[in-house]
Amino acid sequence: MGSNYVGLLNSQQDPLLSHPFSYDSFPSPSSVELGSSQVPPGFSQCTQEASVSEVNALKRQKWTPSDDILLISAWLNTSKDPVVGNEQKLGTFWKRIVDYIAPTQRTPCQCKQRWHKITGLVSKFCGSYDAATRSKSSGQNDDDVLRVAHELYFNDYKARFNLEHAWKQLNDVVL
């Protein structure tokens, strides 16, 4: 079955490519030791964006709700910049966000990781909120719907949703 799948992949390739797809560029499981810091080709680590000494010099900082709001604001302003638009490299994009939130002394990697955590959790909560809205009964107000959404989230993910401040800021934004 594996060879048929690879054959299908090769048959779907762009005719401009001179060679068929090969898995040879990826290390075999036996060539990579588990627990090693070897990074397979084609993969990147956030630490490449910041030097090791720069990362070691910074102490771990807890993200506060005001830090989250500043990060969200920076992301929205940077991504919707009419002058630059989407014509910027990923590293440049996150560097601009770090410049925007300079007082927090965070690296581009830290900002990117926090952004992905926020959007992932907020997206899950949006699903819970939509379900709570659909099941809204007569006499329930917005606070009741929000309470039900928190209950649904907790039942689904076995954790409390603690990014309501981020959800409120992102609620009307299409990502």
Which H/E stretch holds residue 29?
Answer: none
Q: Which residues of the chain have pLDDT under 70?
A: 1-58, 85-86, 174-175
Say what the pLDDT of residue 147 is.
97
Structure tokens at 125: 């909560």
Structure tokens at 45: 């680590």
Report how far residue 137's alpha carbon sits from residue 148's, in angstroms, rounded to the nearest whole number.
11
Residue 89, judged by CB atoms within 10 A of its CB (0-12, 13-18, 19+), counts as: exposed
Say what the pLDDT of residue 86 is.
63
Say what the pLDDT of residue 35 is.
52
Query: Tens digits of per-residue pLDDT, 21-47?
Result: 444 444 544 554 555 445 444 444 565
Going by C-alpha positions, the residue among 139, 159, 140 that lies closest to residue 151 is: 159
Chain centroid, CA 142 distance in Å: 28
Say what the pLDDT of residue 104 is.
73
Going by C-alpha positions, the residue among 107, 106, 148, 154 that lies closest to residue 131 is: 148
75 C-beta neighbours (distance < 10 Å), count: 25
Indicate whether this model's pTM tops 0.75: no
Instruction: Calculate the CA dihedral of residues 48, 53, 54, 55 and round it to 10 degrees.
Output: 70
